[in-house]
Protein backbone atom coordinates (compact mmCIF):
# COMPACT_ATOMS: atom_id res chain seq x y z
CA UNK A 1 0.00 0.00 0.00
CA UNK A 2 1.04 3.63 0.41
CA UNK A 3 3.73 5.12 2.57
CA UNK A 4 3.00 6.15 6.16
CA UNK A 5 3.43 9.92 6.46
CA UNK A 6 3.93 12.14 9.45
CA UNK A 7 0.75 13.95 10.54
CA UNK A 8 0.56 17.42 8.99
CA UNK A 9 2.99 16.59 6.19
CA UNK A 10 2.12 17.36 2.57
CA UNK A 11 1.94 13.62 1.79
CA UNK A 12 -0.37 13.07 4.75
CA UNK A 13 -2.60 15.96 3.68
CA UNK A 14 -2.77 14.63 0.13
CA UNK A 15 -3.59 11.12 1.36
CA UNK A 16 -6.39 12.51 3.55
CA UNK A 17 -7.76 14.57 0.64
CA UNK A 18 -7.73 11.51 -1.67
CA UNK A 19 -9.58 9.40 0.90
CA UNK A 20 -12.21 12.10 1.41
CA UNK A 21 -12.58 12.60 -2.34
CA UNK A 22 -12.99 8.85 -2.85
CA UNK A 23 -15.64 8.74 -0.12
CA UNK A 24 -17.60 11.55 -1.83
CA UNK A 25 -17.30 9.78 -5.19
CA UNK A 26 -18.58 6.50 -3.73
CA UNK A 27 -21.45 8.33 -2.04
CA UNK A 28 -22.44 9.95 -5.36
CA UNK A 29 -22.23 6.57 -7.12
CA UNK A 30 -24.62 5.05 -4.57
CA UNK A 31 -27.06 7.92 -5.13
CA UNK A 32 -26.95 7.33 -8.90
CA UNK A 33 -27.39 3.56 -8.53
CA UNK A 34 -30.47 3.99 -6.35
CA UNK A 35 -32.17 6.37 -8.83
CA UNK A 36 -33.49 4.20 -11.71
CA UNK A 37 -33.96 7.14 -14.07
CA UNK A 38 -30.51 8.50 -13.46
CA UNK A 39 -28.92 5.06 -13.71
CA UNK A 40 -30.71 4.42 -17.02
CA UNK A 41 -29.48 7.70 -18.47
CA UNK A 42 -25.95 6.99 -17.25
CA UNK A 43 -26.03 3.53 -18.84
CA UNK A 44 -27.27 4.99 -22.13
CA UNK A 45 -24.55 7.65 -22.06
CA UNK A 46 -21.92 5.00 -21.26
CA UNK A 47 -23.03 2.94 -24.27
CA UNK A 48 -22.68 5.94 -26.58
CA UNK A 49 -19.35 6.92 -25.03
CA UNK A 50 -18.06 3.38 -25.64
CA UNK A 51 -19.07 3.64 -29.31
CA UNK A 52 -17.31 6.99 -29.57
CA UNK A 53 -14.16 5.55 -28.00
CA UNK A 54 -14.21 2.71 -30.54
CA UNK A 55 -14.33 5.24 -33.38
CA UNK A 56 -11.40 7.07 -31.81
CA UNK A 57 -9.47 3.82 -31.30
CA UNK A 58 -9.97 2.83 -34.94
CA UNK A 59 -8.65 6.20 -36.04
CA UNK A 60 -5.61 5.83 -33.78
CA UNK A 61 -4.89 2.37 -35.23
CA UNK A 62 -5.06 3.81 -38.75
CA UNK A 63 -2.70 6.64 -37.82
CA UNK A 64 -0.29 4.23 -36.13
CA UNK A 65 -0.28 2.09 -39.28
CA UNK A 66 0.39 5.15 -41.44
CA UNK A 67 -3.05 5.03 -43.06
CA UNK A 68 -4.53 8.41 -42.12
CA UNK A 69 -7.64 8.86 -44.25
CA UNK A 70 -8.04 12.62 -44.38
CA UNK A 71 -11.39 12.29 -42.62
CA UNK A 72 -12.04 13.97 -39.29
CA UNK A 73 -14.40 12.37 -36.76
CA UNK A 74 -15.38 13.72 -33.39
CA UNK A 75 -18.24 13.42 -30.93
CA UNK A 76 -20.36 16.21 -29.54
CA UNK A 77 -22.78 16.07 -26.64
CA UNK A 78 -26.37 17.03 -27.40
CA UNK A 79 -28.67 18.93 -25.03
CA UNK A 80 -30.51 15.70 -24.14
CA UNK A 81 -27.26 14.14 -22.87
CA UNK A 82 -26.70 11.83 -25.84
CA UNK A 83 -23.75 12.10 -28.18
CA UNK A 84 -23.49 12.43 -31.91
CA UNK A 85 -20.49 11.51 -34.05
CA UNK A 86 -19.63 14.01 -36.73
CA UNK A 87 -17.58 13.03 -39.76
CA UNK A 88 -16.03 15.60 -42.09
CA UNK A 89 -13.59 15.36 -44.95
CA UNK A 90 -10.47 17.49 -44.54
CA UNK A 91 -10.38 20.55 -46.77
pLDDT tens for 16-67 read 999 999 999 999 999 999 999 999 999 999 999 998 898 888 888 888 877 6
What is residue 37's predicted lDDT score, i.e. its pLDDT?
A: 97
Rg of the chain on CA atoms, in Å: 21
Residues paired with 77 in a beta bridge: 83
Handedness of CA 36, 39, 41, 48 (dihedral sign): negative
Query: Could you state, in order of their start, the residue ranges of all structural domains in the chain?
Result: 10-89
Residues 6+ apart with CB under 8 A from 15: 2, 5
Q: Which pTM value belongs to this model?
A: 0.53
Alpha carbon of 4 to those of 8, 20, 38, 75: distances in Å?
12, 17, 39, 43
**C-alpha 4, offset from chain centre:** 31
H/E segment holding residue 19? helix 10-34
Amino acid sequence: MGKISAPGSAASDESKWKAESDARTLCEAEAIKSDKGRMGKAAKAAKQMAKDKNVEAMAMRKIAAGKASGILQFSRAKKDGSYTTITRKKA
